[in-house]
Structure 1
Amino acid sequence: MIRRHELSDAEWELIRPLLPRPVLGRPRLDDRTVLNGIVWKFRTGIAWRDVPERYGSWTSLHTRFHRWAADGTFDRMLQAAQAKADAAGDIEWLVSVDSTIIRRCPRPPAGGRCPKRGRRSPALGRPKGGLTSRTHLACHGTGRPLAFVLTGGNTNDCTQFTTVMDAIRVPRIGPGRPLIRPDHVIDDKGYSSKAIRTWLRGRGIAHTIPERADQIRNRVRRGRLGGRSPAFDPETYRRRNISDKRPVCPT
């Protein structure tokens, strides 16, 4: 029986060949059980130690998660899912970029030592709220992820826009170059800058980004020298924020 938040048979068949083969040694917890536990943990947002016992020891899930993250297993899973979606015509190239803050865990998980204790991650910053990371995510028209970048929490959104956009590479099943250029970009006022608009125009990418109030005031103050306001379609802008999934701290 497949419970809520668990992988379907079709999803498992897509992912199974991408998992690293176990090394010789004592039998370990089944990979599908582990993946179901990892998915359940992140979909519910609970702590590792609170994952139901049916998925095995939480320390095993925690260790396997970090191992697969480090060796690129999750990256391969994302690429395989993107390639399958592209082949089915399920990727809409109306792209949004946004970011969210992830707070660092204040203490190690109960019953064990935090594997990152004593080490400072390069994706940690110290804004007013304490040590945090920031996930910069690009997703397509139905809210599915295309690319992401991790930085310290004190990094401004707009400074990572081009980095996230350059990270978009949707592989194809069979011949053909990866898809890297969206048809249209929708973003909020935090990405309203001359540099970003120039970057998008230089690549022939249409965009819908509202101006900030201070930019409007400066343009009006300069009169004819201020130029025309950028084109903005409120109907298109309503399609932003289709998905609002907030990441949680993996440790």
Structure 2
Amino acid sequence: MSRYDLTDFEWRVIQPLLPNKPRGVPRVEDRRVLNGIFWVLRSGAPWRDLPERYGPRTTCYNRFVRWRKAGVWHRLMDAVSAAHDSEIQMIDSTSIRAHQQAATGKRGADQCLGRSRGGLTTKIHVVVDACGLPIRLGLTAGQAHDGQIVDTLLDHLGPRAIVLADKAYDADRIRELIQQQGATPNIPAKRNRKWKLCFSKRLYRERNLIERFFSKLKHFRRVATRYDKLAANFLAMIQLASIRLWLRANESTA
């Protein structure tokens, strides 16, 4: 058993959430295939280097893509994060270097690749809860401003929630979006602000949790460097890494 494989606890949580296939040819065991997908995610190795114990690499890759298209990873993410602590939410982003093979996809479609001083990059945007666990995820090109994707990441705030963010999110539009949902922004003001805003330095210190989340996320080498040509596949890898972090947190408290 590889140290990247699902534990019995993790498998008990995931198994009921997977698609059922009552008819047709029996498919390769889901747990073995998932272990193969997680091996690629954690090791960062190409699919063709998948060890034989996980079965045919084409089976693992095809199921990863098929279930991504069917929304399985998205539903899994929603299910494991449903019990999140929403009293405090934090939003931030991190830039990921894209490997040269990620830039060889079809031209024309928006694959969230941007060229900056460091080369091709993709920016991961995340909202985490009060425990530093991910709730919402998104991607943009590396040079995009952090506020570009806020509308889709901060549209499910609960009343009385407090949103922590850095100065990049200090915009009237973002503050209004938060307040319209009954939540409170705790964002430091930019220097060019003409009036003083309510801001708690004590609460703002909690933002270290989202930095720690990014550190844990980058332990998954398939996320720390982007190898996927398709943005949808890269986002699915981030969802799987986030699911694994949720499962480990839940297992430690079970």
Give me the TM-score of the superposition, normalised by structure 2: 0.72
Counterpart among 152, 160, 164 of residue 186 in structure 1: 164
Q: Which residue of 2 aligns with 1:124?
A: 112
Q: Which has the higher helix share?
A: 2
Deviations 1:73-104 (A, max 9, x none): 11111122123xx2xxx524311112233444
Deviation of 1:122 (Å) = 2.0
Deviation of 1:250 (Å) = 5.7
Provide the rounded CA distance (Å) in 2 between the counterparts of 1:250 and 1:190.
28
Provide the rounded CA distance (Å) in 2 between the counterparts of 1:97 and 1:81.
19
Q: How does 1:89-100 map to 2 (within 5 A)?
A: 91-100=85-94
Q: Is the 8 A contact 1:92 1:142 kept in 2?
A: no
Q: 1:190 to 1:51 in 2, by over 3 A?
A: farther
Deviations 1:5-61 (A, max 9, x none): 322223222322332335624x54321111122223223434333443322333332
Q: Which residue of 1 aligns with 2:125?
A: 136
Q: 1:164 to 1:17 in 2, by over 3 A?
A: same
Q: Which residue of 1 aligns with 2:3?
A: 4
Structure 2 counterpart of 1:235, which letter? Answer: R
Deviations 1:89-127 (A, max 9, x none): x5243111122334444238xxxxx9x843554232332
Q: How does 1:43-54 map to 2 (within 5 A)?
A: 43-54=42-53
Structure 1 counterpart of 2:111, which letter? Answer: A
Structure 2 counterpart of 1:24, which letter? Answer: G
Structure 2 counterpart of 1:240, which letter? Answer: R
Provide the rounded CA distance (Å) in 1 between the counterparts of 2:160 and 2:61.
35
Q: 2:148 aligned with 1:159, yes or no?
A: yes
Provide the rounded CA distance (Å) in 1 between the counterparts of 2:123 and 2:160.
23
Q: Which residue of 2 aligns with 1:38?
A: 37
Q: Which residue of 2 aligns with 1:249?
A: 226
Give me the TM-score of the superposition, normalised by structure 1: 0.72
Structure 2 gaps, min length 5: 229-254
Determine which structure has greater relative contact order: mean sequence separation of CA pairs < 8 Å that are 6+ residues apart, divided by chain length. 2
Q: Which residue of 2 aligns with 1:237?
A: 204
Of the two, which has the highest radius of gyration?
1
Over aligned residues, Cα RMSD in angstroms? 2.8
Q: Which residue of 2 aligns with 1:209?
A: 187
Provide the rounded CA distance (Å) in 1 between the counterparts of 2:44 and 2:114.
23
Count how many residue pairs are aligned between Structure 1 and Structure 2: 216
Structure 1 gaps, min length 5: 109-113, 169-178, 220-225
Q: Which residue of 2 aligns with 1:107?
A: 101
Provide the rounded CA distance (Å) in 1 between the counterparts of 2:126 and 2:132.
10
Counterpart among 227, 235, 242 of residue 195 in structure 2: 227
Q: 2:59 aligned with 1:60, yes or no?
A: yes
